[in-house]
């Protein structure tokens, strides 16, 4: 029988964020204006409750890597290269850090996340939108 060294989710999160420059809400907004992809991984209920982010593309976390890897036959058209800036957003900025680390592991070196998630976006007084969602499956 082998022994498993359980380090816990906090250690996993720290490793995911190691070397990743996370963006605050205002930096995120500026990066999107400059052409970064803003990827919203929140659930339908969270988006309905908190609001939609202008310019975001909704991608379910379960297919995120396949939709954003430029080498994947299942990528979205905006997944144009390993250098594309991709900002992942979740509700509080935890699962988005893990998702961004996973994207970095597949070679998307400019993947990062919004520190504090949509809660930080809202606290910063940044707008949400009622425009139709851009949901990708």
Return the pLDDT at 4.
64
Q: At what angle do helices 9-17 and 95-105 cross, to 10 degrees?
A: 50
Is the pLDDT reported for residue 48 higher than 90? Answer: yes
Q: How far apart are CA 74 and CA 66, in angstroms?
A: 6
CATH class, domain 28-128, is alpha beta
pLDDT in tens, 57-88: 999 999 999 999 999 999 999 999 999 999 99
Query: Quick one: 80 exposed, middle or buried, by C-beta within 10 A (0-12, 13-18, 19+)?
Result: exposed
- φ/ψ of 42, rounded to 5, equals -65, 160
* Terminal Cα distance for the chain, rounded: 41
Cα–Cα dist 83/37, whole Å: 11
Arithmetic mean of pLDDT, 34-42:
98
The structural domains of the chain, with segments of one domain joined by +, span: 28-128
| 83/7 Cα distance (integer angstroms) | 32
């Amino acid at each position: 029988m082998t022994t498993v060294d359980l380090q816990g989710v906090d250690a996993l999160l720290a490793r995911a964020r190691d070397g990743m420059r996370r963006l605050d809400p205002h930096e995120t907004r500026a990066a999107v204006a400059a052409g970064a992809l803003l990827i919203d991984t929140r659930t339908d209920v969270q988006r309905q409750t908190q609001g939609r982010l202008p310019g975001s593309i909704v991608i379910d976390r379960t297919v995120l890597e396949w939709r954003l890897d430029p080498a994947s036959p299942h990528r979205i058209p905006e997944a144009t290269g390993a250098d594309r800036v991709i900002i992942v957003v979740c509700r509080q900025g935890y699962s988005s850090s893990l998702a961004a680390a996973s994207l970095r592991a597949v070679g998307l070196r400019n993947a990062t996340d919004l520190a504090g998630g949509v809660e930080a976006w809202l606290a910063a007084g940044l707008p949400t939108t009622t425009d139709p969602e851009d949901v990708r499956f």
